[in-house]
Structure 1
C-alpha cells in the first residue's frame, strides 16, 4: 500500500531514464533524501521536467512505498528556481557543491527538518547575494558537518583545555583535534594552523560575521573542511562540483 506524501523539496539532481522519464533525488522537509521517478516527464506535453529541475525549490506530491527503491512523483509546483544563482557562474558552482554535499552525506528517508530549512535558507542567501558564494558554501558545510554528527570541536585545546581564540596560531591533527600554541610547542605530530585560517573556521563554527578575509584563506578553510570529512567518512571522495566549474 502506497502512502501519499505532499511536501516541500529541493531538487538535488536528476538524470534521464528510459525514453521519456526522469530519475530525481529530492531533499524533502519531512522525509529527508528521497530518490524518485517522474514517469513521462520528458514528453513534450509535460511541464514536470522544467519544474523538477536541479536546484529548484518545489512542492511535490509522491507515492511512497517502503519496499520500492524509487518513489513515484505524481505532481509538482514551483516555489523558486533561484534565477540569480543560475545566472552567476560563481554562485552556481558553490550552490551545486552544496547540493552535492547533501546528496552524498545524508541517508535516504532520514528526516531532518532542520537540515531542510538550512538548505533552503542558504540557497536564499545565495540568491540574495548576502555574502560571497565561497563563504556561504563554507557556512553551510560547517552546518552540515554538525547536523550529520561530525561536529568540529574548536573552542578549547584538546590537550590542556585552554580556551582557543582566533588571535593566535594553533595546532591540529585529525585524531586529537585543535590544540593551543603552547601545547603545539611541546607536542609532535600536529600541523600548524595560522591565525587567519583558524579565525575563519572559528567564526564559521560560532556563526560570527566574516569580513576582510583573503580569498586564499577562504579556499584553505573549505579545503580543511573537505579534508576533515574525508578523514571521518572514508566513503566521501571530495567535492566534484568545485572541480567541474574550474
Structure 2
C-alpha cells in the first residue's frame, strides 16, 4: 500500500554491498525500518543518501506492508532543510549524540504525534539558534515527559531529587539522591523553555556532570538503555 509519511531519520546501516537499511521515527507509524536497494551502487543512487543523514526531516512515499519488518520507499523529499545542523561541527556533535539516544529509546511501532512534533520542532529550533551548548540537556529532560518518567515537579523546594523514584524529597536516600549544583540546575531547567535557555550559563565540567546524571536517570527508567558511544565526542567538542 502506497502512502505518505513524515519521518525523522534515526540511523542507517549498510547491508550487503549496495543496500542501506534506514530506521526512521514516523508521524503515522512510530518506528519504521526501510530497505533502500542498490543506493550505493551508482552515483545516482549515492546522491539519494543525502536525504538520510542523521535526524533529517523527510516526507516519504512508502510501500508499507503490515507484519513485515522492512518496508520500501518509492519517493523521498525534505520536509525541512537544515541550514546548519549538518555543517556546524558543534551542532553535528549534538545531532550524532541525539540520534543515537533516540534510536535507542524509541521502540514503539505506533504513532505518537505529540512526540514526533516535539522532536521536529526542537531540531528546527536548534538549527536556527546561535547559543545552543546546553540544548541537549533540556532536550533530554523534556524527552522524559514522552517516555513516561518526567521528574515530579510538585515538591521542587525539597533539598534532594531521587533518580530512582523521579520525585523531589526532603531527605537523602543514598546513591539515588541528587543535591548541590546538579539539583539546582535540574530545577532551573524544569522551569525553562528552549527560548529562555540562553539565560542559563553552565560551565563545561558541570554540563558533563549533569549530562552523566541524566543518562543515569535514563538507565534507571529504561531497562534496555545504553550509554551512547558518541558521548565522548560530544564532551570533547564542548570541553
CA 1:131–1:116: 2 relative to 1, 3 Å: farther
Q: Which residue of 1 aligns with 2:87?
A: 87
Give the 3-state SS of the residue equivalent to 1:25 in structure 2: strand
CA radius of gyration, larger in: 1
| Number of residue equivalences | 229
Matched, 1:14 2:4: no
Indicate the residue corresponding to 1:193 in structure 2: 179
Structure 1 residue 26 displacement after superposition: 0.9
Per-residue deviation, residues 142-186 of structure 1 (Å, max 9, x unmatched): 122110112221331xxxxxxx23xx7435352474313xx34xx
Query: How has the CA–CA distance of structure 1 residues 173 and 226 changed in structure 2, closer, same or farther, with 3 Å as cutoff?
Result: closer
Cα distance in structure 2, aligned partners of 1:40 and 1:90: 32
Equivalent residue number for residue 161 of structure 1: none
Determine the C-alpha separation between the residues in 1 that align with 2:154 and 2:207. 20
Shift of residue 105 of structure 1?
0.8
Partner of 1:230: 219
2-structure distance, mates of 1:13, 1:228: 23
Query: How far does residue 137 in structure 1 lie from its aligned partner after superposition?
Result: 0.8
Q: Distance in 2 between matches of 1:155 and 1:104?
A: 29
Q: Residue 110 of structure 1 corresponds to which residue in structure 2? A: 110
* Offset of residue 24 of structure 1: 0.2
**Residue number in structure 2 paired with 1:159:** none
Per the TM alignment, residue 244 of structure 1 is displaced from its structure 2 partner at its CA by: 4.0
Partner residue in 2 for 1:63: 63
- Contact 1:33–1:103 (CA under 8 A) maintained in structure 2: no
**TM-score using structure 2 length:** 0.84
CA contact (8 A) 1:95 1:126 kept: no
Offset, 1:192: 4.8
**2:25 equivalent among 22, 27, 33:** 27
Partner of 2:204: 215
Closer, same or farther in 2 for the Cα pair 1:216/1:30, shift >3 Å? same
Query: 1:48-69, CA deviations, whole angstroms, 9 ceiling, x for partnerless residues?
Result: 2222332321111111112211
Partners of 1:203 and 1:88 in 2: CA distance: 28
Pairwise CA distance, 1:111:
0.9
- Of 14-23 and 68-77, more deviation after overlay is shown by 14-23
Partner of 1:77: 77
Q: Secondary structure at the match of 1:86?
A: coil
Describe the SS at the equivalent of 2:43: coil
What's the TM-score once normalised by structure 1's chain length?
Answer: 0.82
Aligned to 1:160: none
Q: Unaligned 5+ residue runs, structure 2?
A: none
Q: Would you say the 8 A contact 1:12–1:25 is kept in 2?
A: yes
Cα distance change of structure 1 residues 154 and 224 upon mapping to structure 2, 3 Å threshold: farther
RMSD in angstroms over aligned alpha carbons?
2.3
